[in-house]
Amino acid sequence: MLNIRKSAERGHVKFSWLEARPSFSFGNYYDPRFMGFHNLRVINEDKIAPSRGFPTHGHQDMEIITYMISGALEHKDSMGNRDVIRPGEIQHMSAGTGIQHSEYNASDTEEAHVLQIWIEPEKNGIEPEYTQKFVRDVVTPGKLGLLAGPTGKGGALTMHADALLYMGILNDDQEIEHTLETNNHAWLQMVRGELLLNGIELNSGDGMAISDEGTLKIRASKSSEFLLFELN
């Protein structure tokens, strides 16, 4: 079963400093039809104005991933971490028993374009963790690269969730086939480009809920970048 979530049908929240496109209910956007997909709770596509951002706030018992599309984002947290994340990197936090952090656009001239992702953990009450890693070099065009998973296999980031996160880059007319490893549920999120997933067209910003498909055939109509989540 394939259910498309078109980019234009997502939520749309706009402030003077932020334009957000949440795929699922979040903050000021609520739609009871879209409360998440299995243990994937949040995918927000955010565009953050120069030098602006999210002041210090808290999270608990959530696996949080930041994926930069363009620009740079400065991170500070209550564990003493201070980093700038740029395209080609991902940032992962296990909020666990509780963490405070802020995220600000690190540029005073350029917009920051980012995907904010929340996945429900397997277990609550763990010690908070923070990791940032350059991942672009694990992805070869025409193949999927594993970015994060519960065991950290193959150099991937370890997250405390029953999920696998892959990144894919396909050049024009490239095609890959992928057999789902976990419980046969997945979500594909387009970052940019245009492709066919089991014959259904997806464009920039589109998402696809996937159940009982087993094997995914992904073909790029033009150069594309996407994330694939295998979920419980």
Q: Which CATH superfamily is domain 2-135 in?
A: Jelly Rolls (2.60.120.10)
Mean pLDDT of 114-137: 93
Task: Compute the average pLDDT of residues 187-204.
Answer: 97
Taking CA atoms, 106 is separated from 88, 132, 174, 188, in Å, by 16, 16, 35, 28
- Summarize pLDDT for 11-51 with one digit per residue, the tens: 999 999 999 999 999 998 999 999 999 999 999 999 999 99
> So what's the pLDDT on residue 22?
98
Segment (H or E) for 200: strand 200-203
Cα(144)–Cα(119) distance, integer angstroms: 20
Q: Determine the Cα–Cα distance for residues 92 and 44; give it in Å rounded to an integer.
A: 15
Are the beta carbons of 13 and 28 closer than 8 angstroms? yes
Dist CA 146 CA 157 (whole Å): 9
pLDDT band for position 182 (cuts 50, 70, 90):
low
DSSP-H helix ranges across 18-71? none
pTM above 0.85, yes or no: yes
- Listed by start position, the domains of the chain span 2-135, 137-231
CATH of domain 137-231: 2.60.120.10
Segment 88-113, tens digit of pLDDT:
899 999 999 999 999 999 999 999 99
State how far the Cα of 156 lies from the Cα of 159, in Å rounded to an integer.
9
Fold match flag (2-135 vs 137-231):
yes
pLDDT of 194 reads 97
